[in-house]
Structures are given as C-alpha cells and as structure tokens.
Structure 1
Amino acid sequence: MRNTLIGLLSGAAALALVASSAQAADMPSRYAPPPVYDAIPVFTWTGFYAGLNAGYGWSTGTSRYYDPAFGYVGSSSNGGFVGGGQAGYNYQMGMFVIGAEADIQYASVGNKGASYGSRYFAGNSDGYYGTLRARLGFAFDRALIFGTGGFAYGDVGGNNSSDPQLGYHRGNSTNGGWTLGGGVEYAVTNNITAKVEGSYVNLDTRGNYTVNGYQGARRDTEFGVVKAGLNYKFN
C-alpha cells in the first residue's frame, strides 16, 4: 500500500512538472530580441560623373624665328589660368577602377606673340584644348589613385603670326596630339568627389615661313597643367 501511494505521488509530480513546462513555453519570452544590424553600404566608384576644374598651365615649348645667318633664334614661354569642365564614367572591379573621361578647357598658356629684329609677330596667349582619355586607377575605399592618357586637340598657341612689312598672316588652327597624366581623387560624400590632377599635353609642332623660307617661325605647342576639380557622381 505504501509503495502504491509513493508511485501515485511521483506520477502526479511528474505530470505537474510537464504541465508547468508546457505553460511556460506558451508564455512570452522575457529576453530581449537579438539586435538587428544594418550593413553600411560599401562605396563604389562605378557610375557616370560630371564636374568643373581650375588650375595653372605653363608652356614647355618655345617660339624660335629663323634667320639665314643664325638659324633658329629667340625663345619664349608663357603660363596662365586653365579652367573648364569634364564628364566621364568609371567602373570598379575590386580595387581596380577603369573609365573614360572627356574635357574641354580654356587655356592661357600659348606662344602666340613674340618679336625678332624689326619683324613683329602679333598674337595673344588665349586658347583652348580638349582631351578624350582612358583612366586606370586603384581604389582604397573612398580614395582613388589614377593614371590617364589619350587624344588631345586644341589651339593653344604657336599658330598665329604676321609680318606687317610682308603682309604675311597665319590664322588660328586646331591641332591634334596626345596627353598623359595622373592624380588622386577622394569621395567626400557618396555623390561629391574632389581631385587634384597633373598632365602633359603635346599638340604637334608648327612652322610658319615667309618669302621662300628666309623668314619664319617655329613653335612647339607643348604645355603642362596642374588643376583641382569637383565632380558630381550620379547614382
């Protein structure tokens, strides 16, 4: 009898424990839910962009005039303001960024005016140039180090000369050439980037002659540029 009573009490206790556990499972949890983390978007250089730039350019070419007795004589170079706009597209693959960019610039860096002896060759230093370039860079999150190069064109200097006594005049002309450069760019926000860039531009060499070549001028249209710019990157 005693053993039977103990067995009944043990069974009742077990049933009560099971019922209590089931009821506790149905009750709301007292523990806070696990925190939810929103992943911070990773910046990418991929996309179209457009912007403005300004800087300084200096001629690395010369203005030399031909004299039968002395050959090419005289030399001059100018420097001045450079500014304009650019637009392009970047595509990022891991750390590598490839792209293309076109720009158009006002440039006061030419050799359009000089003199030799009694001959006066009139002109000014105002001009323009543009480029169509490929870009290749390495991205370190929001920082980009890049090199660039491609086709250049423009009328920067060395193409305008006249002789009042001989009545000779050569007007402005657009020349083709090439350019190489590089720089650094930083994404200030997801849409605004700032850059500093240096480049060398060569727009061919022109020779101007008068009276069967006895009097003439040779100008090397070459110049360097350092400029800063801002771009707006479209999403």
Structure 2
Amino acid sequence: MKKIISSGVAVAALLVAAPAFAADLQQPYPTKAPVIAPAPVFSWTGFYIGANAGYGWGSGEGQADVLGLNPDGFIGGGQIGYNIQLDNNIVLGVEADIQGSSLKDTAFGVEQKMDYFGTVRARVGYAFDHIMPYVTGGWAWGHNEVTNDLTGSSANGTLSGWTVGGGVEYAFTNNWTVKAEYLYMDLGEDYYDSIGADSGLTASVVRAGINYKF
C-alpha cells in the first residue's frame, strides 16, 4: 500500500513539474545584440552646383580714381565646382562662377559700371565633419563700361585680374550646403575712348550661397 501511495505522489509531482519544464524548453537561448552599423562619415568629395547673392563695393583705378568713382551695388549669380577630401581632412577644390552686377558710380558727368563679372578659383579648406572653413584665390574678370555724359560717348571692355578671399561652408544634409564668402578683386585697367584715358576697378564682394552636391 505504501508503495502504491509513493508511486502516486511521484506521478503527481511529475505532472506538476512537466509544464514548467516544457516552458523552460521553449525559452530562447541567449543571443548577442544585433550589430548597429555606424553612421557614414560625411565627405566633401564630389561635384556641386549652386547659386549666390550678395553685395559689392569698389574703387576706380586710373582716371576713375582721379574722378573719385567708387562703384557699389548688389550681385547675384551661380557657381559650379569640384572638391576632393584627403585622408587628413584637407579639402582641395576648384570653382568657377559668373555674377550679374549693379556696381556703378557717377562723378563729374562720367559713369563707371560693371554689369557682370566672374572668377575661376582654387579652394583649400579643412573639414570639421560638416563644417569647412577655406581660403580661395585665382583669376577674375569683369565687363566694365565707362560713359561720358558730357560728350555723349560710351566705351566698354573686359577687365582681367586676380582675386583672393575666404569663407566657411556648412553641409546641413549629405547633398545640400550653404556658405558665406568674401572676395577681393583687382581687375586691372584698360583704355576707354569715352574719357581718353585708362580706367579700372578694384572691388570687395560679400555673398551667401547654396550648393547641391552630387
């Protein structure tokens, strides 16, 4: 009789323990947490195209300087360029731009006006991730017109010189960047029949721009 009772108790214990044991078998084995790939590091390498707008002011050279002509006005245009970022975060690039301009001034019946200009420049910057300060310099040119209201004559020509400056650019997405820039331009001098003398222009430009990087 005792054996029967003992056997019954053992069977009951097994019946109680079986569901818990089955539940343990169903528990998943410990696994490693999934590896999360790090966010890609931004690179300035690539072609870009964009637009800009700003303000310019300058000083006449040659006869324009004698007359006290100091053209100023608004500018706006577009730019295209290419950057390559090196392993040490130095960024090398080249950029060309063309600008419409309202820079002009009048004195003693003579008007000097630059209605468009452009530059082709090298750029050297340093990438702090999405922020890049840079220096720039190269060739500059501008279409200059000198009008003599006293004689009713006008002459125009393309001045050619150099430019140097700097700025800072910020990438707010992987494709879109904004920049602020300063340029100093010395466009040299040329002879104008309208005043019978050489005339030229030096100018400073400040502008803000936006670029799309491919």
Q: TM-score, normalised by structure 2?
A: 0.78
Contact 2:159–2:200 under 8 Å retained in 1: no
Matching of residue 148 in structure 1 with residue 132 in structure 2: no
1:19 is matched with: none
Select between 123-132 and 141-150 the one with higher mean Cα deviation. Answer: 123-132
Structure 2 match to 1:85: 78
Q: State the AA in 2 paired with 1:82.
A: I
Percent identical among aligned pairs is 45
Q: Deviations over 1:130-157 (max 9, x none)?
A: 11111111110000011111111121x4
Residue matched to 2:6? none
Deviation per CA, 1:13-39: give whole Å up to 9, x if none.
Answer: xxxxxxxxxxxxxx9852133322112
Question: Deviation per CA, 1:186-210, whole angstroms, max 9, x where unpaired?
Answer: 0010000000000011111234468
1: CA distance, partners of 2:112 / 2:154: 13
User: 2: distance between equivalents of 1:143 and 1:226?
Assistant: 19
What are the superposed Cα offsets for residues 90-147 of structure 1, whole Å, 9 maximum, x if unpaired? 0000210001100000122234x432xxxx33x4635100111111111100000111
Q: TM-score, with normalisation over the residues of structure 1?
A: 0.72
Name the CA distance, whole Å, in 2 between partners of 1:74 and 1:154.
20
| 2:176 alignment partner in structure 1 | 192
Give the structure 1 partner of residue 8 of structure 2. none
Match of 1:133 among 118, 121, 136: 121
C-alpha distance in structure 2 between counterparts of 1:74 and 1:33, whole Å: 80
- Taking structure 1 as reference, are residues 218 and 110 closer, same or farther at Cα in structure 2, changes over 3 Å only? farther
- For structure 2, the 5+ residue unaligned runs are 1-25
Indicate yes or no: 2:136 matched with 1:174.
no
Q: Note the aligned Cα RMSD (angstroms).
A: 2.5
- Which amino acid in 2 is paired with 1:50? I
What is the CA–CA distance in structure 2 between the aligned matches of 1:217 and 1:108, rounded to whole Å? 23
Moved over 6 A (4+): none
